[in-house]
Amino acid sequence: MNNEQMVRGLKTVPITLADCFLRYEQHLRASSPKQADITLSQLSTAIDRFTLPGWGFAPFSGDRPTKAEQIAAQQFRQTISLEQLEHALEAQEKGFGLLQPSASSQKVYRSALKKFLYWYRQQDQRLMKAAKLTSTKFSRGHGRVRTKLLTTKRHLLPYRLKLEEMPSSLLEEINKLYQFWTQPTWENRVPKIIRPGVAQNYQDWVRGFLGWLYHHEKIPLDELNLSALVPIGTMQEINDPAALKREAREAAEQVNALGNRYIQWLVAAPPTGRGCQSPKTKAMVWSTLSFVARHQYNNETDSDTYGNSYQDIPVIKTIRVELKKLRAEVRQHEGISDESKSWLDWESVLKLTEQFRQKCVSVCFYKDLSRKLGVRGMPRSATAIAGSFQLYILFAMLTYIPPRRIGELQRLKLGKRENPSFDPRHPYLYKEDGTWIIDVTPLACKTGKTYGRQRLRLPDLVFEDGRSFYSYLGANGEFGQNRTLSLKVFSCMTYRIL
């Protein structure tokens, strides 16, 4: 990656004593969190009370500085350049001579300043001599999600049946359906096992079906079950082949009528329906019914003769006929969304990622706050800092090493395979011999059967300010915050910058 491309379009401001102090604070809170407050308090006194007067700042009027004096000191720090900082000890001696503190106080505050200067001189000089990157758009937040709408569809209220609404008997059926499709040890299962994520998606559609029956078809909760979607009735008790065939044909007709009625409601314009326009939605209705039907008729099909095809089950044959009708429509359908609004040019992606990196700080640099308070930043909570690191790392992985499939990031966990709680359905991120690795198991990826286990090395990029990508990965682990980043948070933060 070209560093000039990453910083193009960003404006620069000079590094000052205030910036160095904030970076020193980040260093202390990461390396010595228990001692950080005491060390920073001593350093603040060493600088504001005894060093700044040596550069011409008016000394504090009392033992405790007023709020106005604190703000004035913060502002004065911003005028001290790196060249002046090299002579900070000389300025402090002038302050000592002016204010005449005790010998013990001079020793404490001289030591605090020396530690700070020692840390400063140990840093990569590119970090201190280069200009600091910032962004006016990021601090003002002009972007809004509503300006990036891809369709003109209105927000609709959810209708899916919630788990807490379900009677215990229905909830047990739903859980059994999920286990049927995902448990390798399920006895006498005819169809092949599917991935848990796929089963969960179908289960959500089943809940949507049930929610429609309850909220719009007015079927009572105690009458809802999987047989309300795909009836099997008393087929197991019928011994007459002709009656059994007639019963199976009636069940197929009932499922066909139910599926078409649900689709009619989905495509109807609001408020009488949902206004769905994609044939993929119609196809998912029939696929969901097939998902339920193959569970319902698992013990009814002659698997010795037909294998896992269910060719002897009229309900499933009817569903497949409907799916076949929709295949051509799905292939020819053009999306209703304006996809041009979904994509960013590469320059914008790099700029966006770099701005999220700049936000990984312990203070906020929002200019409206800075202008109001007269200082450069305000302390941020540990949760906010951890959220910034996670957002940046998410964007960085999308940019620096784009995943082959998005599920590699969606289910990514921190930790090694040897962990007792290891789940092979998830990829894992861990550090090994100084290198960060994403370990993708065959069950963690849709194409895992083809490619097997993959161990992907993350690049350790070095940025203009001297920091590396690995330093952010390590710091994110130190915060220890378990904050979930939803799609809404992800998109809102993106549009806010753009």
pLDDT category at 166 given cuts 50, 70, 90 is: very high
Q: Is residue 476 part of a domain?
A: yes
With b for 16 or more beta-carbon neighbours within 10 A and e for fewer, the 268-285 pattern comes to: eeeeeebebebbeebbbb
**Amino acid at site 156:** L
Range(s) of the domain holding residue 99:
3-134
Residues 275 and 194 in one domain: yes
CA distance 388 to 361: 8
Residues 412 and 488 in one domain: yes
Residues 70 and 113 in one domain: yes
Q: Is residue 315 part of a domain?
A: yes
Query: Which residue is listed with tokens 């599917």?
Result: 194
Q: Is residue 288 part of a domain?
A: yes
Kindly tell me if the per-residue pLDDT of 137 is higher than 70: no
Contact 476, 386 (CB under 8 A): yes
In angstroms, the Cα distances linking 456 to 19, 375, 471 are 36, 43, 18
Residues 403 and 285 in one domain: no
pLDDT tens digits, residue range 169-222? Answer: 999 999 999 999 999 888 889 999 998 889 999 999 999 999 999 999 999 999
Geometric angle at alpha carbon 85, from 81 and 89, rounded to 5°: 155
The pTM assigned to this predicted structure is: 0.55
Beta bridge partners of 438: 429, 456
Contact 9, 470 (CB under 8 A): no
pLDDT at residue 12, as a whole number: 40
> Who's near 446: CB < 8 A, 6+ residues apart?
195, 405, 407
Nearest to 210 by CA among 222, 194, 198: 222
pLDDT tens digits, residue range 395-454? Answer: 888 888 787 777 777 778 877 766 666 777 788 888 888 888 888 888 777 777 777 888
Task: Give 100 or 490, the one with higher predicted confidence.
Answer: 100
Query: Which residue is listed with tokens 């099997």?
Result: 232
Residues 69 and 126 in one domain: yes
> Who's near 369: CB < 8 A, 6+ residues apart?
377, 378
Q: Of 242-256, 282-296, 386-400, 458-472, where does the model show the most confidence?
A: 282-296
Number of structural domains in the chain: 3
Residues 390 and 289 in one domain: no
Residues 328 and 365 in one domain: no
pLDDT category at 480 given cuts 50, 70, 90 is: very low
